[in-house]
Structure 1
Amino acid sequence: MTNQNTKLSIITINLNNKDGLKKTLKSIDNQSNKNFEYLVIDGNSSDGSQDLINNSAFIDIKISEKDSGIYDAMNKGIQLAKGEYLLFLNSGDYLNNSEVINNIISQLDGEEIIYGSLIYEDKDSSRVQHYPSKLTFSQFLYETIGHPCSFIKKDLFTRYGLYDTSYPIVADWAFFTKVIVKENVSTKHINEIITNFDLTGITARPENHDKINAERDRFLKENFSFILEDFTRTTAAEKKLERIQSSKGFKILKAFGVKKFQ
């Protein structure tokens, strides 16, 4: 059982993904170090998920009720969790091996967001996704860090608000961008693969790419309009210069010692 001094809470949300949930639950139950709180927030599934949840004795907190979407469910988990740090491991995602929690628990030692690596996984292939140790605006302008491999201090949600459900697909990216770029909270990269990430989820579906871009553009314009135009203009100029410098003509001129290009 957990208590008020729990270091880590792991939160899983699920809606009618029984097969994916089985993988997630198995990875939790297989952890050699079980010194964490585990919550499952189900959206009133009708595919047998609820029976699976109810028969899993290692789940500390379980609820099943309708919600308004992914981030509404995640917000319910945040409000119920007792841990100092939160890890979101949604159904279909699973911890990489049985020693993940044992290897990282001692590293949850003060920084407000601590993140590792993950493996992107679909039916036919997989690849490791590493993230930079130093996070910059450009990291979030073009990419993000993975929420299934990020340990977030619960206090951040108290200080800066829960996931913004007006961004139904990218609220986790919006939260990271707001607190890391705008609020400059402390971060730390750890050299561990945390999670295998299920690429069949909503953010990875090709049909949602336009919606994702629209949500990201709206967030950036609402929160970073004062620097976004200059930043994108400068970045475009830098990329153009890189293309010029890598061109065959530039290399020939440089080889002939044209000082202007050296």
Structure 2
Amino acid sequence: MTITLITICYNSAATIEDTIKSVLVQDFKDIEYIIKDGGSTDGTLDILKKYEDQLKWVSKKDKGIYSAMNQGLELASGEIIGLLNADDFYADNEVLSRVAKVFEDSKVGAAYSDLQYVDSQDTNKVTRNWQAGNYDRSNFLKGWMPPHPTFFLRKEFYDRFGFFRDEFASAGDYELMLRMLYKHEIKAVYIPIVQIKMRAGGVSNMSLKNRIRANKEDRKAWKINGIKPKWYTLWWKPLSKIIQWLN
């Protein structure tokens, strides 16, 4: 079993080496690691060249985050695919071993786990916990979604049901998981441990303007797939994030 990992980046020199190192120290070694760069000018490419004997990388312009992810997916050849952001890193060196163990069951199509947001300057400081919980398809109706950076999916389902829809600005990951897990009912398994550490950004993503835009995109994700949420689904989704801050 080969696991393909895809990292997309643009001017990520400050963080991407931590990301790369967290992959290279994994005790599971059957890894295909692809980094898709968007044309960085800040020294990111120098870091990629430093590790190019241990990964594949390409640098070219794209149309945005989901376009870049799709370019990475086009290069992937592993049976299992995960995406690791350029400012995220694996919590320990056994992450991929746990993932591989889950996928030994051929009926399992997807897996996800818990995530911690950490301070961008002090990654030992946890700022928010995202405890995903056991999988229940109906939880999508309550605004639930798996933490996308922890999400692994069999390549066959990308091939059958499509890549990311790059017309989305911020909810492309939500739409993809909704499509795969809720619409197509792919079997998913929860790995009950923190596997991803994500550097927290600013509070701008909590602004009313951004929340309204995100809510519109969430609604579009359901509509484009021909499925209907409950009346409360799209409002419960942002409220669930507040609960994460309290945990």
State TM-score, norm by structure 2.
0.83
Deviates more, 1:196-205 or 1:179-188: 196-205
**Aligned partners of 2:62 and 2:10: how far apart in 1?**
10
Q: CA deviation at 1:103?
A: 3.3
For residues 24 and 75 of structure 1, what CA distance do their matches in structure 2 show? 20
Alpha-carbon distance between aligned partners in 1 of 2:25 and 2:183, rounded to the nearest angstrom = 38
Q: Distance in 2 between matches of 1:194 and 1:234?
A: 27
Q: Does 1:122 align with 2:115?
A: no
SS at 1:219's partner residue? helix
Structure 2, unmatched stretches of 5+, are 236-247
Partner amino acid for 1:232?
W
Structure 2 counterpart SS, 1:232: coil
**2:191 paired residue number:** 190
User: Shift in Å at residue 50 of structure 1?
Assistant: 0.6
1:64 to 1:189, Cα distance in 2 relative to 1, 3 A: same
Tell me by how many angstroms 1:147 deviates.
1.6
- The answer to which structure has the higher helix fraction is 1
- Whether 1:95 and 2:90 are equivalent positions in the alignment is yes
- CA–CA distance in structure 1, aligned partners of residues 71 and 42 of structure 2: 22
What SS is found at the alignment partner of 2:225?
helix
Over aligned residue pairs, what C-alpha RMSD do you find?
A: 2.6
Give secondary structure in 2 for the equivalent of 1:18.
coil
Query: Aligned-pair distance for 1:217?
Result: 1.6
CA, structure 1 residues 16+183, in 2 after alignment: closer, same or farther (shift >3 Å)?
Answer: same
CA distance in 2, matches of 1:153, 1:235: 28
For 1:146 and 1:209, the matched residues in 2 are separated by: 18
Q: Which residue of the partner structure matches residue 248 of structure 1?
A: none
| Between 61-70 and 29-38, the greater mean CA deviation after superposition | 29-38
2:59 maps to which of 46, 58, 64? 64
The amino acid of 1:191's aligned partner reads P
More contact order relative to length (CA 8 Å, sep ≥ 6): 2
Greater Cα radius of gyration, structure 1 or 2: 1
Structure 1: distance between partners of 2:232 and 2:164: 30
Structure 1: distance between partners of 2:15 and 2:206: 16
User: Contact conserved, 1:11 with 1:74, CA < 8 A, in 2?
Assistant: yes
Pick one of 14, 19, 24 that aligns with 1:19.
14
Q: 1:156 to 1:140 in 2, by over 3 A?
A: farther
- The verdict on how the C-alpha distance between 1:211 and 1:161 changes in structure 2, with shifts beyond 3 A counting, is same
Contact 1:133/1:189 (<8 A) preserved:
yes
Q: 1:214 to 1:70 in 2, by over 3 A?
A: same
Mark the CA change 1:205 to 1:23 in structure 2 (over 3 Å): closer, same or farther.
farther
Counterpart of 1:173 in structure 2 is: 174
In the alignment, the residues of structure 1 paired with residue 100 and residue 180 of structure 2 have an alpha-carbon distance, to the nearest angstrom, of 23
1:232 aligned residue: 231
* Contact map agreement 1:163 1:175 (CA 8 A) in 2: yes
Match of 1:3 in 2: none
Partners of 1:164 and 1:189 lie apart in 2 by: 25
Q: Distance between the aligned counterparts of 1:125 and 1:194, measured in 2?
A: 14
Between the aligned partners of 2:68 and 2:136, the Cα distance in structure 1 is 28
Change (3 A) 1:107 1:233: closer
Q: Partners of 1:108 and 1:201 in 2: how far apart? A: 35
Q: Structure 1 residue 38 and structure 2 residue 33: aligned?
A: yes
Match of 1:209 in 2: 211
Aligned length: 228
The two structures have a TM-score, normalised by structure 1, of 0.78
Compared with structure 1, are the counterparts of its residues 91 and 39 closer, same or farther at alpha carbon in structure 2 (3 Å cutoff)? same
Distance 1:23 1:171 in 2: 25
Q: 1:172 to 1:202 in 2, by over 3 A?
A: farther
Structure 1 residue ranges (4+ consecutive) displaced by more than 4 angstroms after TM superposition = 201-205, 233-236
Structure 1 residue runs of 5 or longer lacking an equivalent are 1-5, 237-262
Provide the C-alpha distance between the structure 2 equivalents of 1:85 and 1:57, rounded to a whole number of angstroms.
Answer: 22
Answer with 118-127 or 41-50: which moved more. 118-127
Separation in 1, partners of 2:28, 2:101 = 11
Match of 2:78 among 69, 78, 83: 83
Structure 1: distance between partners of 2:41 and 2:203: 19
